[in-house]
Chain A
Amino acid sequence: MEPEVVNSEMLLPPVLPFKRVQMSDKYPKGHARGRHWKHLKQILQAENYASYPADEPNYLNIETPPSIYPSKKFCDITGYEALYIDPRTNLRYANPDVFKRIRMLPDDHVQRYLALRNAAVVLK
């Protein structure tokens, strides 16, 4: 190991005194290394929140529903308030200069701008 790496103390030592079980014993090399960690979706599914009373807060029911108010429209390119929409591409724009830029955009840029708004056309 190079001296400067050792000096910088950036590596985690393999054996630590205050641990009862070292990492190398817990996750022996060659095995799957405990890779089967459940992701959040699986954790939530396993939690089975339906069996709990519905008025108690749990991870799922504190999530907010989407807003009922209509959103303020902002220009996709500049971020100013968008007063107009381009009919060909459905991009929102604020003034004619931006409109010129929009018309000169290549198609994949248009789709990416729309994707930023979750408005892109997804072909399945």
Chain B
Amino acid sequence: MGSVLLPSTYGFPKQIPSPSLYSITRQEESIVVVGEKPKVSPISPSRPPKQRGRAMPSIWRPSRQADYDCFSSATPIVIDNGGSAFRIGWAGELDPRVTFRNVVQRPRHKTTGETVTIVGDHDPALMKYFDYTRTSHRSAFDSNVVYQFEIMEYVLDYGFERLGANDLQVDHPILMTECVCNPISSRSKMAELLFETYGVPSIAFGIDSAFSYKFNQQHGICTEDGLAVCAGVTTSHVIPFVKGEPVLEACCRTNIGGYHVTDYLKQLLSLKYPYHMSSITWEKAEELKMEHCYVALDYASELQLFQKGKKEAEEKTRSWQLPWVPPPQEEAPSEEELARKAALKEKQGQRLRDMAAAKRSIRISEMENELHGLKDLLQQLGQVEETEISSILSKTGYDSRQEIESAIQKITQSLRKAKGEPNETEERIDASLAEKYPLTNVPDDMLTPEQLKEKRKQTFLKTTSEGRLRAKQKRFEEESMREKQNQQEEEKRLENPELYLEKLHARYRELSEKVEQRKRLKTNGARTNGNQNLSGGVGRGERLNAAQKERMRLLTTAAFDRGKGEDTFGARDEDWQLYKLMSKDNDDEDNGQEEDEAELARVTARLQSEIQRTVPCSFAAGMASQSLIWLASLYTRDLTSFMVWIILQHPKDWLDIFLYLLHKLDFFEISAWIEPTE
């Protein structure tokens, strides 16, 4: 593809030691050895030891170089554009002049509001002047490919500026590094940036690890056939070399790099010490990794070392002390707070009550007024003669005296209710019924046609009100019956708890079976019928309980023409009696089902309350030192809280007491829940 341009193919002086050196440091980015030299990667011995330990100084502001002008236009500038660090320097030198972290931040100045650009790391003491809330470290890289050229431009600006550039353009050829098989669009944009914005005369791109290998080969550290393993910050590459040339067709990339290692360390530490999660940042983890971690040459044996706890393991462990932060205490609301809140609630309640009382008094006064008016009217009617009655009545809107009286009744009743007095008894109502509908008792032939109409109205009203009364009575009776039943059951339970419980269980089982069976019949019938006979009627699957089967049978036999060739069902009156048979069946079935289900619900509720009642009984007995069952009545029915308390607090000798009691009451399954805590 022609993308890899080794120095030898490009018209540069043959000896370019510096770029190779820069790329050597790349191998150290994620694998740092403290004190020990890794035997894998070749390192030139002339590197100062300080830089070997820390490939990425965390706070390092490079100073501006002053000797830019000393270099002629022919001297190339070498740039190592790496995912973690950006290095720039002159060709022919041993080390890059300027190194910094390849990130950009654009905070806003707090007072002036302008957005400034900071490339690389900065002194954290100066952070206070800037607002960092909306910014974060931005990198030009996505995995190992440059994609954000605005940020790349900031970085290049800073790099050139630190190198001391002051001409009208950067008038030196540039050698730049890129990733293996860099996509063409990325490379072309980079070239465009360098040519057009910086006025660079010529550019060369190359792979950093290849440069490094060539350098080492020239210095005799490695042979011409070998393997270059390059561990980057987001990716790692393996490039084979044959006869000094890289075989790009055989090179491989894995998307694991130093970033993932740091991330893993951070997650592990956060999970092990969740309390300190805020102190374990990515930067801190990176620092830990760089300063204190090492690469094991034989992982299995190192593991054994640590597992057996030998002395070397002790030497290799580090301890990190974090500042102690007191746990955040939730303040219990103080007395004043509580008092204030209570007062507020009182006030609100009072206000609501006042409003309700005001409404009620308004209504009462209204009703009283009305009552007065009606009573006056009545009086008037009493005093005045017959003829004028109708005229007066038409004015007020009431048709007859009785209406007025009934209206008065109603209002007095509601008035009484509003005032909070008890309702009148039913006898009074019975009496008033007879009074209200006087015409009902009078036989038909004695009345005029209008009175007949009246009578019909009144009979109708009477029957409805009687019906309502009857319904009320029935309800009352039912309630009293239920009360009686409950009382009976209570007595039964108190006499003989175990027997009662057994009977309850049996009844529960019976009822549940019945309900299940019925359900099964419904669904089973539907299922089988659907499977067998799909071509039949659409709704056939639904109509399959016994009553409905019966109904279908009746219908089909009825409609069956008796050999006459015509369907004459319905011609005779007796045919329609068929329907009477059918509907009766239906109703019975449904009613029976509902009753059963209601009883089942009742029985289950009872059972549950039984269980709740009996169990705490026994535990309470235990805690009260083997006697005093009466204490059970004092304990709550909340089973779970009781259990939890027991599990957390009982000392070992209580355990025996518990087990003994449980034994006595046959609650074997519960004993398994108790686990002794240490």
Listed in ascending order, the chain A residues whose CB lies under 8 Å from chain B are 1-2, 4-5, 8-13, 16-21, 23, 26-27, 33-34, 37-40, 43-44, 46-47, 55-59, 62-64, 77, 79-81, 94, 109, 112-113, 116
Say yes or no: A21 contacts B196, CB within 8 Å.
yes
Q: A5-B129, A12-B119, A21-B197 are in contact. List 7 more A-B contacts (CB 8 A).
A: A1-B112, A12-B117, A34-B150, A37-B147, A39-B142, A112-B267, A112-B271
A2, A44, A59, A79 pick with most chain B CB within 10 angstroms: A59
B117 pairs with A57, CB closer than 8 A: no
B185 at interface by CB-CB < 8 Å: yes
Judging by beta carbons under 8 Å apart, are B64 and A9 in contact?
yes
Say yes or no: is B154 at the interface (Cβ < 8 Å to chain A): yes
Contact, CB under 8 Å: B252 / A11: no
Contact A40 B64 (CB under 8 A): no
User: A33's closest neighbor in chain B, by CB?
Assistant: B150
B437 at the binding interface (Cβ < 8 Å): no
Q: What's the Cα separation between A55 and B248 when bound, in Å?
A: 10
Do A59 and B196 touch (CB < 8 A)?
no
| A2 CB contacts on chain B under 8 angstroms | 129
Nearest chain A CB to B136's CB is how many angstroms away?
Answer: 15
Question: Complex Cα distance A43/B181, Å?
Answer: 13
Distance, CA A61 to CA B486, complexed state (A): 82
Which B147-180 residues have a C-beta within 8 angstroms of A?
147-150, 153-154, 157-158, 160-161, 165-170, 180
Which listed residue (A4, A17, A47) contacts B168, Cβ 8 A? A17
Task: Write the chain B residue with the least CB distance to A113.
Answer: B271
Asked if B147 and A12 sit within 8 Å, CB to CB, the answer is no
What CA separation (Å) do A10 and B569 show in the bound complex? Answer: 105
The answer for the CA separation of A80 and B184 in the assembled complex, in Å, is 45
> In the complex, which residues of chain A have a beta carbon less than 8 angstroms from the beta carbon of B197?
19-21, 26
Q: Which residue of A lies closest to B112 (CB)?
A: A1
A57 touching B167 in the complex, CB below 8 Å, given contacts A12-B117, A12-B154, A80-B306: no
A interface footprint on B642-657 (CB within 8 Å = 1, 0 otherwise): 0000000000000000
Which chain A residue has the least Cβ–Cβ distance from B254?
A: A64
Contact B249 A55 (CB under 8 A): yes
Q: Is B109 positioned at the interface, with any CB of A under 8 Å from its CB?
A: yes
- Measured between beta carbons, the chain A residues less than 8 angstroms from B254 are 63-64
Q: Which residues of A sit under 8 angstroms from B248, Cβ to Cβ?
A: 57, 62
State the Cβ distance, B468 to closest chain A Cβ, in Å: 57
A12 to B248, CA, bound (A): 39
Give CA–CA (A58, B248) in the complex, Å: 9
The dominant DSSP class at the B interface is: mixed
A17-B61 in contact given A27-B150, A34-B150 (Cβ < 8 Å) = no
Q: Does B251 contact A (CB under 8 A)?
A: yes
Pair A20/B196 contact, Cβ less than 8 Å: yes
B residues 257-293 in Cβ contact with A at 8 Å: 264, 267-268, 271-272, 274
Query: Given the complex of chains A and B, what is the CA–CA distance between A115 and B567 in angstroms?
Result: 75
Whether A57 contacts B61 in the complex (CB less than 8 A), given A12-B157, A27-B150, A112-B271, comes out as no
Bound complex: CA A63 to CA B142 (Å): 16
Q: Is the CB of A17 within 8 A of B157?
A: no
Q: Which residues of A lie under 8 Å from residue B168 when comparing CB positions?
A: 17-18, 20
Contact status of A40 and B143, CB under 8 A, knowing A1-B112, A47-B185: yes
Interface residues in B559-583 (C-beta closer than 8 Å to A) = none
- CB <8 Å contact, A17 and B167: yes
Contact (Cβ within 8 A) B1 A57: yes
B123 interface residue, CB < 8 Å from A? yes
Q: Is B183 an interface residue (CB 8 A)?
A: yes
Neighbouring A residues of B160 by C-beta, 8 Å:
16, 18
Q: How far is the CA of A123 from the CA of B292 in the complex (A)?
A: 38
A37–B150 alpha-carbon span in the complex (Å)? 9
Q: How far, in Å, is B205 (CB) from chain A's closest CB?
A: 14
* A43-B186 CB under 8 A given contacts A12-B117, A20-B196, A57-B248: yes
The complex places the Cα of A86 from the Cα of B170 at a distance, in Å, of: 63
Q: Is B126 among interface residues, defined by CB-CB distance under 8 A?
A: yes
The 0/1 profile, CB within 8 Å of A marked 1, for residues 245-256 of chain B is 000110111110
Mask: chain B, 179-221; 1 = CB below 8 Å from A; 0 = not:
0111111100000000011110000000000000000000000
Closest 5 CB pairs of A and B: A40-B142, A12-B117, A18-B165, A64-B252, A59-B181
B547 within 8 A of A: no
Q: Are B181 and A47 in contact (CB under 8 A)?
A: no
A33 to B161, CA, bound (A): 23
Q: Is B418 an interface residue (CB 8 A)?
A: no
- Count how many chain B residues have C-beta atoms less than 8 Å from C-beta atoms of the other chain: 61
Report the separation of the CA atoms of residues A80 and B313 in the bound assembly, to the nearest whole angstrom. 13
Decide yes or no whether B116 CB sits under 8 A from chain A.
Answer: yes
A10 touches which of B61, B169, B303 (Cβ 8 Å): B61
Flag whether B43 is at the interface (Cβ < 8 A): no
The CA-CA distance from A69 to B170 in the complex, in Å, is 51
Cα(A87)–Cα(B197), bound, Å: 62
CA distance A18 to B129 in the complex (A): 29
Would you list 24 pairs from A and B whose C-beta atoms are within 8 A, ordered by A residue?
A: A1-B109, A2-B129, A4-B126, A8-B123, A11-B118, A12-B116, A12-B119, A12-B157, A16-B160, A16-B161, A18-B170, A19-B169, A23-B154, A40-B147, A43-B185, A43-B186, A55-B249, A59-B181, A62-B248, A62-B251, A63-B252, A77-B272, A112-B271, A116-B267
Q: Is the CB of B252 within 8 A of A18?
A: no
Quote the shortest CB–CB distance from A86 to chain B (angstroms).
Answer: 16
Q: Is the CB of B184 within 8 A of A47?
A: yes
State whether A20 touches B64 (Cβ < 8 A): no
Instruction: Name the CB-closest residue of A to B199.
Output: A20
Smallest CB gap from B238: residue in A = A64
Q: Is B145 an interface residue (CB 8 A)?
A: yes
Report the Cα distance A47→B64, complex, angstroms. 39
Complex: how many Å from CA A20 to CA B198?
6
| Contact A16 to B142, CB < 8 A, known contacts A9-B64, A43-B186, A57-B1 | no
In the complex where A18-B160, A47-B183 touch, is A40 in contact with B145 (Cβ < 8 A)?
yes
Task: Give CA–CA (A65, B254) in the complex, Å.
Answer: 9
Q: What residue in chain A is nearest B117 (Cβ atoms)?
A: A12
Known: A16-B161, A17-B166, A40-B142. A80 touches B126 (CB 8 A): no
Smallest beta-carbon distance A8→chain B, Å:
6
Give A44's nearest chain B residue, CB to CB. B183
What's the minimum C-beta distance from B155 to chain A, rounded to whole angstroms? 10
Shortest CB distance A15–B (Å): 10
Most buried by B among A5, A33, A94: A5
Which residues of chain B are within 8 angstroms of A26 by Cβ–Cβ distance?
153, 197
Q: Which residues of B contact A57 (CB under 8 A)?
A: 1, 180-181, 248-249, 251
When chains A and B are docked, how far (Å) is the Cα of A16 from the Cα of B166? Answer: 8
Residue of B with least CB distance to A47: B183
Residues of chain A with a CB closer than 8 A to B303's CB:
79-81
Q: Nearest-CB distance from A32 to chain B (Å)?
A: 11
Q: How far is the CB of B373 from chain A (nearest CB, A)?
A: 72
The answer to whether A19 and B157 have CB atoms under 8 Å apart is: yes
Enumerate chain B residues within 8 angstroms of A40, measured Cβ to Cβ. Answer: 142-143, 145, 147
| A10 close to B122 (CB less than 8 A) | yes
